[in-house]
Structure 1
């Protein structure tokens, strides 16, 4: 029985940090606008300072800690009859996907993933979509081929 059990690429941490930084930079624009009006036209200077502290906490969790925690908990396991995907920081989620349910597999790579030579594998079933993010490009291509091969083998067995 062929079996692959792996973690995603550690470069995922960098990609997720950049993504969080961009998202929080946009959020910062809204925060700045609200803070300006509270500071200028209201007597709520304490609220502006409280929001600043909360923003810094959110920033440090989202950019510094969360990507590393997320990477440490990502696992996937590909077997001939099923695949297992495990993720989650606060609550762990383990999903078992029978190969007989796989309809097709996609290779996805946005500009940020491309810069870091990473790609995601997206597995479509009749019920939902599952993603294995931030794999090395070659590994993602190989995984797409393996999953599609195993899914075809299961179709012939049914």
Structure 2
């Protein structure tokens, strides 16, 4: 596993699928996903929630976004040479109402929606808030697995896992995982993908 300056980790497996690099060398034969589960309906929501600290992370990220908009309004106030400030007060009031609703509601809503689950044969994700998405990726389709930690995520000791598959729909992402959980998930998915490829040859 390699780490760049942005705090992103990338899983590296050798062609023979014998080793996984992550804080040294780990024998993938020791990495196990949870035992096989009974057959599940494809539309059932995934079983596991993300960390409760994700609410704090999303709240901070929302505050950063609304602060940027506030800075734009302040600049507009000073460069606008019209005598009337009515438009500024109206826009400011709208910004205040929407910002409070966004900062208070969005993180908790996202936490209620975001779920994930990994089995021996597939990974399931559910994400979003206004627009929600549920996806399933067979382990046999997994191409790369990344662990990422932005500045705010590092502050809350969280990480995101992104699974790239051979699908036109794009990668699957799980945000707001406790760091140890994210690390174990990366290693387990990598080992499962290696075993799946080994069984297919």
Partner in structure 2 of residue 141 of structure 1: 183
- Structure 1 residue 46: deviation in Å? 2.2
Report the CA distance shift for 1:37/1:44 in structure 2 as closer, same or farther (over 3 A): farther
Q: Indicate which of 82, 99, 102 corresponds to 1:62.
A: 102
Partner in structure 1 of residue 26 of structure 2: none
The one-character-per-residue Cα deviations of 1:55-86 (angstroms, maximum 9, x if unpaired) are: 11221122111011011100111111111101
Partner in structure 2 of residue 52 of structure 1: 92
User: Paired residues, what number?
Assistant: 156
- The two structures have a TM-score, normalised by structure 2, of 0.71
d(CA) in 2 for partners of 1:25, 1:57: 14
SS at match of 2:186: helix
SS at match of 2:47: strand
d(CA) in 2 for partners of 1:53, 1:23: 17
The structure where helix makes up a greater share of residues is 1
Tell me how large the CA RMSD over aligned residues is.
Answer: 1.8
Structure 1 residue 5 and structure 2 residue 39: aligned?
A: no
SS at match of 1:31: helix
Partner in structure 1 of residue 133 of structure 2: 93
- Structure 1 residue 44: deviation in Å? 4.2
Show structure 2 runs of 5+ residues with no match: 1-34, 38-45
Partner in structure 2 of residue 29 of structure 1: 71
Structure 1 residue 17 and structure 2 residue 59: aligned?
A: yes
- The two structures have a TM-score, normalised by structure 1, of 0.89
Partner in structure 1 of residue 123 of structure 2: 83
d(CA) in 1 for partners of 2:58, 2:52: 10
- Structure 1 residue 2: deviation in Å? 3.0
d(CA) in 1 for partners of 2:67, 2:154: 22
Q: Which has the larger displacement, 134-143 or 88-97?
A: 88-97
The one-character-per-residue Cα deviations of 1:110-140 (angstroms, maximum 9, x if unpaired) are: 2221221111111112332221111111101
> Which residues in structure 2 correspond to 1:91-130 (within 5 Å)?
91-127=131-167, 128-130=170-172
d(CA) in 2 for partners of 1:61, 1:156: 50
